[in-house]
Structure 1
Amino acid sequence: MSTQESYRSKRTTAEAAIRLIRNGDSIIVPTGVGEPPTLLTALSEHRRDFQDVKVLQILAVRKYGYFDPETASNVRHSALFFGPASRAAGQAGWADFLPNYFSEIPGMIRQGLIAADVVFSIASPMDEHGYFSLSLGTDYTMAALGKARAIVLEVNPNVPFTNGNCHIHISQVTALVESDEALTEVGMPVIGPVQQAIGSYVADLIDDGSTLQIGYGGIPDAVVLQLSAKKNLGIHSEMIGDGILSLVESGAVDCSKKTYMKGKIVGTFVLGSRKLYKFIDRNPMVEMHPSDFTNDPYLAGQNNKLAAINASLQVDLLGQCGSESLASMPYSGTGGQSDFVRAANRSEGGKAFIVVPATAKGDTISRIAPVLCPGTHVSTSKNDVNYVVTEFGVAQLRGKSASQRAREMISIAHPDFRAELTTAAKKMGLL
């Protein structure tokens, strides 16, 4: 049977495709815009037909009908990282949360620690050799392909075809549906004076020839916007966004000085605009790989001058980062923060930046705290954190004593809280 004949034989409707799901199954869905909207809409519409089905995903971008507490026993979201679509469900307790490092999810799937009975993914059109590209969310999905009983693709002509370890052959596919819906677009966030000040401090510390990892959020994007005058930057990052495209267009990114995968922009998922999706389509400069490759600290750390830029919600006086919860209430997830902090620490000339506004709630709460709030999920340990940056300056922590760290952290807190933090540090024996 030719690849085209195989394609035609496996083409079906979304309503028929979801009948491949069995009660108790775990469905693996890629990150962000890698999610297949037609399939997930059909699953939502028929969710009451199933029992104990779980949808596992990092960073859901659309709030589908199955995000419903009344039918959580039918189809339930299991978050590997909470985003705007899934956060309320996690905080209310009717969506599950699986703690993880992004780099280790593929291995957990292969080991059977995370079940992968079915894969639902959006995909590019099939090429002349019978291959589809899972370009928008390569992440852990490639590992799930080797474990799943059923693989269902939503084939969309708007999905780019990229190079890298992100391809699946028609012979591996159980069923496919077709759609031509426009891809979800996520624009650059609004950058205010606080984000701009933090971005300026970080940009000043990034050298020409550095390789960048840009985390998810407004402050990392603010850093990117201030790097257009740099030269010979490279990209080895979990997320490829419009900020990275802007650096390519400005000439700041050419990947010519990378010491690992020279000349290549390397990522594991894409989140941005239609322009970005067109940019990566069959672009020989871009390669998409699973997260156990992109986020592996050993591999990523082979890039000299790796600059990792990630955001946090709260940091204590020793440098512990609570980046994913508000006290015990879940907010996001560890994601790749710890992966890339460790990668930058391994890198020759590498620099890991944790960026955080000094205050919250109209300057009434200090995000620099004596200790993390009780119940806070520690995302990155004190042993790993190097630079912490607020709008008031830079604290460099690695190699510093506990007392030195406390002084550094107090120096970048909002001035209104420095006396209070100093008093607390003395009571703790840090000063």
Structure 2
Amino acid sequence: MDAWNPELKALYHQRLLTPADAVLQIADCRNLILGMSAAQPPALMAAAADALKDRLIGPLALYYLHGTDALRRSLLIPELADRLTPRPLFLSPADRDAMAQSASPNWVEFVPAMLHQVGRLLTEHIEPDCFFVTVSPMDRHGYFSLGTNADYGASVIRKARKVVVEVNRQMPRTFGECSVHISEIDHIVEHDHPLVEATPNPPTDVDLRIADRIVERIDDGDTLQIGVGGVPNAVLAKLANHRDLGLHSELFSPAMMPLIQSGVMNGRRKTWMQHKHVFTFALGDRALYDFLDDNPAIVGYPASWVNNPDIIRLNDNMVSINSALEIDLTGQINSEQLGDRPFSGAGGQLDFVRGAYSARNGRSFVALRSTAQSGRLSRVVPRLRGGTVTDPRNDVHFVVTEHGCVNLKGLSIPQRARALINLAAPEFRQSLENEATSMGLL
């Protein structure tokens, strides 16, 4: 604060409010958009919950991705059901818990969306009345940083009618399109708190076996997008002997840090954004957030850019690695629904499936364990159980389980069915073959 000039200091203090007073400034708003995950502001969310209970604001429609435990405790509570309609565009465990606990099955209204379109949806198809987001402290030039979350924050913050930021000294300062000037902000609150952390579970033996099949198809100089889950983390752990890898990924995760620190991932051979590690949101532990802070090699950009297939394809040798819940015998992928229950969302998976394959020498991998429920359920199925298609069969490239890896491009329906049956656990193969025959696939 001592480095600020008098004009900036005066402007900052003019806009500084308590969380309770800041929330009162949105009394005329109908739609409230929250930052995603680590960028969700706990003090503002708690104050908004109090104001809704006291009927000082609302009713509100609430839009966001990947709700946190702080959101679950503050706004996603049954007593606000008549004042608040949550409309997440990607579900987290906190969101699923809120859905399970709600007396109304439709209180939480899931909004299907691909990540590269979310910024547009929230600014064109939904009126962006107000935006709440966590930012890093202001620098001497008057800029805050969106830190871990460029994603849709970089798009919404410049279109929302009212912008309220929660300044947190634990939010890292990042580069790229993450800077927001104080002139673009209506109100400021201050609240220091630890950011949301996500520590992945150690990979299982099955994860490691799947990872081996993917790693043998990754070459020196490839540019990677790595999704969430045990297999993607296992893949990263097995790349220490590769050279000159690049990063263009929606997610920046802890497993990427050792590769950058050792020089394995340096971006030297990237054909687009050379030497820069590109991400749109970061989620991990405190060590990851410290690594991001003031690191000029790591740059965050909106998902509308990072996840745009036309941008992804600009890197030759682009490789995307994502996980799935199930695949049917024609190659359709479901990564977002368990039976009739929404589980997560499309996120950016299809963005990168399409973008990576479109690149010169590009490859897209979708990985899944062959079984679920301790081996009682096959993830290779005759028909998708929930009917939700995340990746159409026309787009799917490599599919990997612990039993093998198959390239579906160019295969007929019967060829696909036979190849995918061979990726299933042996105990399910005969029943899958019988089903395929009865369906006319074989």
TM-score, normalised to structure 1, is 0.96
Deviation at 1:24?
Answer: 5.5
Is residue 2:397 matched to residue 1:397?
A: no
175-184 vs 260-269, which deviates more? 175-184
Deviation at 1:88?
Answer: 2.8
Quote the residue 1:109 is aligned against: 122
Quote the residue 1:303 is aligned against: 315
Number of matched residues? 429
Quote the residue 1:255 is aligned against: 267
Quote the residue 1:36 is aligned against: 41
Is residue 2:203 matched to residue 1:198?
A: no
Contact 1:326 1:376 in 2 (8 A): no
Quote the residue 2:93 is aligned against: 84
Q: Residues 125 and 24 from structure 1, CA distance in 2 versus in 1: closer, same or farther, beyond 3 angstroms?
A: closer
Q: Residues 421 and 218 from structure 1, CA distance in 2 versus in 1: closer, same or farther, beyond 3 angstroms?
A: same
SS in 1 for 2:396: coil
Is residue 2:331 matched to residue 1:319?
A: yes
Is residue 2:66 matched to residue 1:59?
A: yes
Q: Residues 327 and 376 from structure 1, CA distance in 2 versus in 1: closer, same or farther, beyond 3 angstroms?
A: farther
Alignment-mate amino acid for residue 425 of structure 2:
H
Quote the residue 2:8 is aligned against: 3
Alpha-carbon distance in structure 1 between the residues aligned to 2:27 and 2:426: 58
Contact 1:90 1:96 in 2 (8 A): no
Quote the residue 2:18 is aligned against: 13
Contact 2:31 2:128 in 1 (8 A): yes
Superposed, which structure 2 residues align to 1:63-74 within 5 Å? 63-74=72-83
Alpha-carbon distance in structure 1 between the residues aligned to 2:35 and 2:229: 19
Deviation at 1:228?
Answer: 1.8
Alpha-carbon distance in structure 2 between the residues aligned to 1:81 and 1:376: 18
Deviation at 1:89?
Answer: 3.0
Is residue 2:337 matched to residue 1:329?
A: no
Contact 1:28 1:141 in 2 (8 A): no
Is residue 2:110 matched to residue 1:97?
A: yes
Deviation at 1:27?
Answer: 1.5
Alpha-carbon distance in structure 2 between the residues aligned to 1:403 and 1:303: 34
Deviation at 1:140?
Answer: 1.1
Alignment-mate amino acid for residue 312 of structure 1:
A
Is residue 2:184 matched to residue 1:172?
A: yes
Task: Decide which of 180, 186, 194 is 2:198's aligned counterpart.
Answer: 186
Cα-to-partner distance string for 1:145-195 (whole Å, 9 max, x where unaligned): 232121011111111111111111111111111112121221122211111
Alignment-mate amino acid for residue 201 of structure 1:
R
Deviation at 1:284?
Answer: 1.3
Alpha-carbon distance in structure 2 between the residues aligned to 1:335 and 1:34: 17
Deviation at 1:46?
Answer: 3.0
Deviation at 1:206?
Answer: 1.0
Quote the residue 1:340 is aligned against: 352
Quote the residue 1:418 is aligned against: 429
Task: Decide which of 283, 286, 297 is 2:295's aligned counterpart.
Answer: 283
SS in 2 for 1:168: strand
Alignment-mate amino acid for residue 107 of structure 1:
R
Alignment-mate amino acid for residue 57 of structure 1:
Y
Give the CA RMSD over aligned residues.
1.4
Deviation at 1:54?
Answer: 2.1
TM-score, normalised to structure 2, is 0.94
SS in 1 for 2:305: helix
Q: Percent identity?
A: 37
Alpha-carbon distance in structure 1 between the residues aligned to 2:9 and 2:398: 53
Alignment-mate amino acid for residue 430 of structure 1:
L
Structure 2: gaps (5+ residues): 1-5
Alpha-carbon distance in structure 2 between the residues aligned to 1:332 and 1:176: 32
Alignment-mate amino acid for residue 211 of structure 1:
T
Cα-to-partner distance string for 1:379-412 (whole Å, 9 max, x where unaligned): 1100000111111111210111111111110111
Deviation at 1:23?
Answer: 5.7
Q: Residues 301 and 427 from structure 1, CA distance in 2 versus in 1: closer, same or farther, beyond 3 angstroms?
A: same
263-272 vs 101-110, which deviates more? 101-110
Deviation at 1:32?
Answer: 1.1
Alpha-carbon distance in structure 2 between the residues aligned to 1:224 and 1:163: 24
Alignment-mate amino acid for residue 32 of structure 1:
S
Contact 2:29 2:130 in 1 (8 A): no
Is residue 2:398 matched to residue 1:387?
A: yes
